[in-house]
Amino acid sequence: MPNELNKLKEKILKKGNLPGHIAIIMDGNGRWARRRGLPRTAGHKAGVTAVKRIVRAAGDMGISVLTLFTFSQENWKRPKNEVSAIMKLLYETTKREINELDRNNVKLMTTGRTEELSPRRRQILQEAIERTKNNTGLILNLALNYGGRTEILDAVKKIAGDVKRGKLDPAQLTEESFSDYLYTNTLPDPDLLIRTSGEMRISNFLLWQTSYTELYVTDVLWPNFSVRDFYRAIQDYQSRERRFGRL
């Protein structure tokens, strides 16, 4: 790692108050490719390279959870060949990187309706999750076939079921116990949400969980997002004053 980057990292660590959970909307793969006259799928491939460097940087810095918006429910509406290219990249990368992830004490998990993914391929993810389940380092959470509203609806359906079975008294429901019904029930809410590629939208990502999350939007396209860009986002977060509605 270049010396200057190392110094920046030390500065961040010295300051303390790191974001425990960072979520990222990795946008701009298509634009990156178009600017180079390449097919969109080449952009996603370059996106995987960025994923690898940011996962490494997050683990290295001692971040607890990194959630990546990998595939949204809405992404199914893209052309079939693009959907299958993203899926192929995901499974191939998981297979290829699982040894390194495991060696680095990364725990893999997914968030979303993964039961709707192809069973043969889901198996690959399941094996990786199983293999890393006792790891104690970075939690790498891939949001897959994820939609924020659907997640809330799924929670409401489970709650209704528990009420019907007499397991839950609706009057006792709190924000905290509601969170237990979300896909992310084992995770803290994100402290920082990074969106690349400039758009000022949440795009149906972690709607419930981001109520008090600090937002950071950069114009950098995801395939170009560097460790330095990642550090900048964290530094920006460190300079914020989080009040959670208080004075």
Q: Which residues are catalytic?
A: 27, 75
Q: Read off the DSSP letter of residue 223.
A: G
Contact segment (CB under 6 A) with ligand FPP among 8-16, 25-33, 162-170, 204-212 equals 25-33
**Token pair for residue 118?**
């192809």
Q: What angle do CA 69, 75, 81 make, to 5 degrees?
A: 120
| Binding-site string for ligand FPP from residue 30 to residue 59, where x marks contact by CB under 6 A and - marks none | xx------------x--xx--x--------
Considering only residues 99 to 138 of the shown chain, the ones binding ligand FPP according to CB under 6 A are none
Residue 142 sits in the site that holds ligand FPP (CB under 6 A): yes
Apex CA 69: angle with CA 60 and CA 135, to 5°?
40
CA-CA distance, 192 to 209, in Å (whole number)?
11
Output the smallest distance, CB 98 to ligand FPP, in A: 11
Binder among 23, 86, 143, 234 for ligand FPP (CB under 6 A): 86
Q: Rule CB under 6 A: is residue 23 a binding residue for ligand FPP?
A: no
Number of DSSP helices (H) and strands (E) in the chain, helices first: 8, 6
| Choice between 200 and 247, CB closer to ligand FPP | 200
CA 165/CA 159 separation, integer angstroms: 10
Instruction: List the one residue from 21, 24, 29, 109 that touches ligand FPP (CB under 6 A).
Output: 29
Let me know the angle formed at the C-alpha of 88 by 84 and 91, rounded to the nearest 5 degrees: 140
Beta partners for residue 198, in sequence order: none
**What does the binding site for ligand FPP look like in residue numbers (CB under 6 A)?**
26-31, 44, 47-48, 51, 68, 70, 75, 86, 89-90, 93, 142, 197
